[in-house]
Amino acid sequence: MELRYLFKKTKSVPGSENRKNEDQGPQTPQGLFHKCTKCGETIFSEELKRNLFVCPQCGGYFRMYAGTRIDSILDDGSFEEWDSDIKELNPLGTPGYEDKLERLREKTSLDEAVVTGKGLVNGYPVCLGVMDCRFMMASMGSVVGEKITRMFERATEEKLPVIIFTASGGARMQEGIISLMQMAKTSAAIKRHSDAGLLYVTVLTDPTTGGVTASFAMLGDIILAEPGALIGFAGPRVIEQTIGQKLPEGFQRSEFLLEHGFVDDIVTRSDMKDHLTDILKFHADKGSFKPEKTGKIKISKRSGKLTPWDKVMISRGKDRPVAEDYIKELFPDFIEFHGDRFVNDDKAVMGGIATFAGKAVTVIAESKGHDTKENIDRNFGMPSPDGYRKALRLMKQAEKFGRPVICFVDTPGAYCGLEAEERGQGEAIARNLYEMSSLKVPVLSIIISEAGSGGALAVAVSDEVWMFENAIYAILSPEGYASILWKDSKRASEAAAEMKLTAEDMKEKKIVEKIIAEPEDLCKDNIETVVAQLREGISGFIGNNLDFDGEELAKKRYDRYRSY
């Protein structure tokens, strides 16, 4: 017999039904809790708000009201709203359209699906546009298009950067062809803003689709996305119905777009303001140059001379630092940007922006990994066409904003494979040589280990090329050379000697300007001496190019390569 039946306790247990008529009793007030649409968990609204509308249980993102978004991004009280009184059109004469808008205005206290204006992000002035899904799924009609366009026009006039948080179901059906024209109108305004050398950042939030994706959402110099946001041109349901197939998990989500090269980075809501601040900081005034000086550098040298083959082996050494290590040391505020904006984000090429000695720079690096796992991820530092296209995209961005470009070269060669050929490996390399030759900003390339063939040259058409003491630079690998000329790849060491691929050889042939001395067994633990040389060298390079003339640089670069 269980105890529960033995205890003498109250017989009748009144339940909540006894209290139906009392309004004094406990009740959950409207809006006290939110149900997470992702995990189904009930969340205390106050906590959800504190957590910037991210589910504390599953990390799922709720859609944000425009006002809350503005508060989370702009400094308190700095927002000045623009153009909140534009009258809508009803070009198709859709019955009840005006009434519907009126009702929405009342319900949401918004005048239309986008709020635009000007404000400060940690002190940096910026024009801000925020879309709000509550208003007709933030579809773009004439008013949305007009507000965005006016914001860009005014930003161009006032020389201000623009940030837009996008969210939209697409064009507004009720406004027909006029709605379609908004896509062209906004894009044209952005072009003028861009031609004026001004920065435009988009932040894609859930959901960004249709005509907004196919216009201003995808035109940012930098495109960020919130985690898990639906981003696409055609909506998933439409695609499924058209092709008669089920779409894979994660299709058209931010992560999918990042992987496919259309998004520079995915940024969480809690980091968003800081991240935007960094981006604005890198693009704000040019910054004052503070040259870096390093004292005398003492390097422990090995005794005895190394053969070219020794150097080949050293340059491929598994403990040798990779580009990422130098970036960490030299550019602690580096932020990485991803993607070629065509098809992929190639991890064999890393790129982004940072400051060096107070000046903004673009950093591009062919990147090997530290271990096998990282190397598989980075394809052993062998870029695909997507990698070269990402590099070029970032170089063009640097050109627009007048930033010097610093490239780290470290690749056995461009990737040789099926997809690489399909996507035009040769074209991608050629395009880089072509474009880099006339880039209107200073370009420095540093060969840190292996520089194999066209795959290396595609990021080394530069004003200056430097080379690590034990790095190599060649038309192809010694193994390849031996096998082509002597039909015996085992004679690679012999080939290495014949090929003249060492830093000294390069200096002699004026292929490189400077040799970076290495300590014995260069690895992450003794990286300081080479970092010190690079720091001083890069500082000198930037210092010499403070008031560069783009045309002049391009001409000199032409002459440099003309001489070979």
The binding site for another protein (CB under 8 A) comprises: 2-4, 7, 9-10, 13-19, 24-29, 32-33, 41-42, 44, 46-47
Provide the CA 369 distance to its chain's centre, in angstroms: 20
Strands (E), 83-237: 114-121, 124-131, 162-168, 200-208, 222-225
Give least dist CB 355 to another protein, A: 22
32 vs 188 by CB, closer to another protein: 32
- CA distances (Å), 67 to each of 55, 60, 161, 244, 309, in order? 19, 20, 20, 40, 64
Task: Please calculate the CA angle 293-451-456 and round it to the nearest 5 degrees.
Answer: 100
Are 529 and 535 in contact by the 8 Å Cβ rule? The answer is no
Beta carbon of residue 5, minimum distance to another protein (angstroms, whole number): 9
Shortest Å, Cβ 488 to another protein: 56
For the chain, the farthest-separated pair of C-alpha atoms sits apart, in whole angstroms, at 105
Q: How far is the CB of 8 from another protein (least distance, A)?
A: 10
Question: Which lies closer to another protein via its Cβ, residue 24 or residue 303?
Answer: 24
Q: How far is the CB of 58 from another protein (least distance, A)?
A: 14
Instruction: Kindly state the DSSP code that residue 520 receives in the 8-state scheme.
Output: T
Give least dist CB 326 to another protein, A: 23
Q: Which is nearer to another protein, 31 or 244 (CB)?
A: 31
**Comparison of 40 and 426: residue with beta carbon closer to another protein:** 40
Whether the CB-CB separation of 420 and 414 falls below 8 Å is answered with yes
Nearer to another protein, 28 or 563 (CB): 28
E strand residue ranges, 261-420: 265-266, 335-337, 349-356, 359-366, 405-411
Tokens 């690096």 sit on residue: 365
Pure H helices in 21-81: 45-50, 66-73
List all residues 6 or more positions away from 563 whose beta carbon is below 8 Å from its beta carbon: 510
CB 201 within 8 A of CB 282: no
Q: Examine residue 207 and say whether the peptide bond preceding it is cis (omega within 30 degrees of 0).
A: yes
Size of the chain in residues: 564
Q: Give min distance, CB of 273 to another protein, in A.
A: 24
CA distance 232 to 213: 7
| Closer of 3 and 243 to another protein (Cβ) | 3
Find the shortest distance in angstroms from Cβ 37 to another protein: 16
Using CA atoms, how far residue 427 sits from 210, 350, 390, 535, in Å, is 31, 20, 14, 34
Question: Closest separation between CB of residue 111 and another protein, Å?
Answer: 32
Element (H, E) at 332: none
CB 25 to another protein: min, Å? 6
CB of 9 or CB of 298, closer to another protein: 9
32 or 238, CB closer to another protein? Answer: 32
Amino acid at 304: G
Q: How far apart are CA 467 and CA 445, in angstroms?
A: 9
Task: Tell me how far, at minimum, the Cβ of 14 lies from another protein, in Å.
Answer: 6
Nearer to another protein, 44 or 558 (CB): 44
Residue in the block written with tokens 């090997």: 368
- Do 404 and 364 touch, CB atoms closer than 8 A? no
Q: Which is nearer to another protein, 13 or 177 (CB)?
A: 13
Nearest-angstrom CA–CA distance, 232 and 222: 17
**Could you tell me if 166 and 203 are in contact, meaning their C-beta atoms sit under 8 angstroms apart?**
yes
Considering the complex, state which of residue 24 and residue 288 has its C-beta at the smaller distance from another protein.
24
